[in-house]
A and B are shown apart, each in its own frame.
Chain A
Amino acid sequence: MKNTISVRGLRKRYGDVQAVDGVSFEVPEGEFFGILGPNGAGKTTTLEIVEGLREADEGRVELLGLEPWPRNAKLLPRIGVQLQATSFFERLTAREQLRTFGSLYGVSARKADEMLETVGLAEKADVRVEMLSGGQAQRLSIACALVHDPELVFLDEPTAALDPQARRNLWDVLRAINTGGRTIVLTTHYMDEAELLCDRVAIMDRGRILKLGPPAALVRGLDAPTRISVASGVLAAEDARGLAGVDEVSDDGVSLVVETRDPSSVVAALSAKDALDGVQIRGATLEDVFLDLTGREYRA
């Protein structure tokens, strides 16, 4: 299958910050691709170089077989971009804003109004963009990126300001677009979102890609223990430690947590002792992979 995006050896330096430090990846047509990484990892910079907003110091980018830099008018109608910072024409209503953006792509007013409906802003159609809440403005910005039905969509933290309902609504919208054969690239700080939506994710830090692959494969590769917790008091910690397959046990007075790499036999043993009150089983998630790769300590 042809690659929609092909990035080779990208580098970008701002003063003494090496924002992007040798990034390469490929995104095949129709893939849902995620870029994860802590603040300042270089996600936005990478995305903006790929979109053609910034010039790389080094490296090559091809989108749909074309080079995005310098500004390529043939490419622009085929891609849709939502930037991390929202930006609108002043003093227009949400509807006017989207129609104006649509008109730049030759999209009819009717189609623009439908898109407003799709992102759940129909009720706010006559509200000026300055008066929209942060999440509503974010949704309008996403609508502006999608209004012309682009083949390739870039979304920089699209769900950052959204409430849980809007987040789920956007997931549905994006999944529908992706199912329709569109390629989507997004950055996010929500691991559940990446795990749920993305075919593959790249985990970035300090300008480099540390790991790249399908979320499930990354999680499996981590070889992290499963954590089984039950209500404190149903079983003594010493008894738990004696069970077959148990690696680690801790009890904080609320929950007794057992770490194991053989969850089925541990659950069976707990069940035999009738000690499954309030049981919760948590396997490793993308978040564990993320923290394992980028470290647990907070960086300013």
Chain B
Amino acid sequence: MSTFDSFKSLSRALFLGFRRDRGALFFTVLFPLLFLVIFGGVFGKQTTGKVDVVEVGAVPVLDRALQHDPSGELGRTVKVKHDDLAGALKKVQKGDADAAVEQSGGRLVVHYSGADRVKSGVVQSVVQQVANAANVAESGRPPTYTVASQRVEDKSIKGINFFTPSLLGWALASAGMFGASQTLVLWRTKGLLRRLRLAPVPIPTVFGARVVVSLGIALGQLAVFLLVAQLPFFGLKLQHAWWMSIPLVVCGVLTFLSLGMVVGAWAKTQETAQTVTQLIVLPMAFLGGSFFPLDYAPKWMQAVSYVFPLRYLNEGMLNVMARGQGPMSALPQMGILLGIAVVAAAVAARLFRWDAT
């Protein structure tokens, strides 16, 4: 009798059990995808959109700049509308426009809203640049100092590039932890564990099969996420070392399964396991940077985030998928994840019980 055959047929049985579980399918595959579609669709476009500027009356400086725009850069950034002052301010207040610009003689006034700092910042700097250029032209002399701006790797990733890896991290954490804790409690309370104890299969083989099934499911989640996010509508562009997300996902899944096992080994009932898992996963997703970039978070939140394994998975995947870092950059995160996995697995093994009573 071969342990490997047992392993294969157990894996098959467990996978069939998962595939036929509509609830699990929804929560592990469709639900996170729904988040990706919503978050990616709503916030993903933010940085690529133009800024809407309302000219109050005539603003010749801006108009002239738009007419003499050899690189077309300004035209790509700014979209101009016209209105009177009251109407323009109302548009800005309601968020229909990003700023209103008035010109009276040599004075330019920019009215902006604080609601969207990014766009109001863009408007202010654009108007400043336009004014500078006009000053230079007025003086009739070539500018003494010119600025050549060069874009560097953006540390604060926005939009779909952020949401694809981080929502995937949340989906993996949630699927792994719920899967492991629920399975373990269910098998114990339903008596399957004690029945398996009487079968001549090493118990690590049984759990190994469960882990392999979870890994397969997780890689499926990764594939679906990457495929959807790369659709033109979302426009994810993967960086060269994106494939390192595969070993990262494997390490992450091992970590979350081990943590789930700890909960499952400790909890007596399915309700307890479910509640406790939720109490871990949800804060972890928020504070681990799955729903918003940690770069924008307050200092204390950034400090707290280091407690959560999800942070390392998210960070590692962001680095290789979106920030364009090399394959080696993921190694520290993988190491930390595996370390947590080993410790959690040891704790779970200590807490493990075959029997409900």
Could you tell me which A residues sit within 8 Å of B by CB distance?
51-54, 71, 73, 76-77, 79, 81, 83, 85-92, 96-97, 99-101, 103-106, 128, 144
Contact = CB atoms under 8 A, between A and B. Distances in A.
Contacts of B12: 100
Contacts of A89: 13-14, 17, 192
Contact of B13 (A87, A96, A105): A96
Given A51-B198, A73-B202, A104-B10, 4 more contacts: A53-B194, A100-B9, A104-B200, A106-B1
Interface string B337-357: 000000000000000001100
Contacts, number: 74
Given A87-B190, A106-B5, A52 B13 contact: no
Given A89-B17, A90-B17, A104 B201 contact: yes
B20 interface: yes
Given A89-B13, A91-B21, A103-B9, A77 B1 contact: yes
10 closest Cβ pairs, A-B complex: A106-B1, A103-B9, A87-B191, A76-B200, A100-B13, A104-B199, A91-B20, A87-B192, A77-B200, A104-B201
Contacts of A81: 195, 198
A100 B10 CA distance: 6
21 contacts: A51-B198, A53-B194, A54-B355, A71-B197, A76-B198, A76-B199, A76-B200, A77-B1, A83-B195, A85-B191, A88-B192, A89-B14, A89-B192, A99-B9, A100-B9, A100-B13, A103-B6, A103-B9, A106-B1, A106-B2, A106-B5
Contacts of A77: 1, 200
B18 to A, nearest CB: 8
A104 B355 CA distance: 20
Contacts of B9: 99-100, 103-104
B118 interface: no
B134 interface: no
Contacts of B336: none
Nearest to A87: B191
Contacts of B59: none
Interface string B47-58: 000000000000
B186 interface: yes
- B interface bracket (residues with beta carbon within 8 Å of A): 20 to 34
Contacts of B5: 103, 106
Contacts of A73: 200, 202
Nearest to A100: B13
Given A91-B16, A100-B13, A105 B192 contact: no
B187 to A, nearest CB: 8
A106 B2 CA distance: 7
Contacts of B191: 83, 85-87
A96 B9 CA distance: 9
Nearest to B5: A103
Contacts of A96: 13, 16
A85 B9 CA distance: 24
B198 A52 contact: yes
Nearest to A73: B200
A213 to B, nearest CB: 29
A105 B196 CA distance: 11
Contacts of A86: 191
Contacts of B196: 104
A96 B16 CA distance: 9
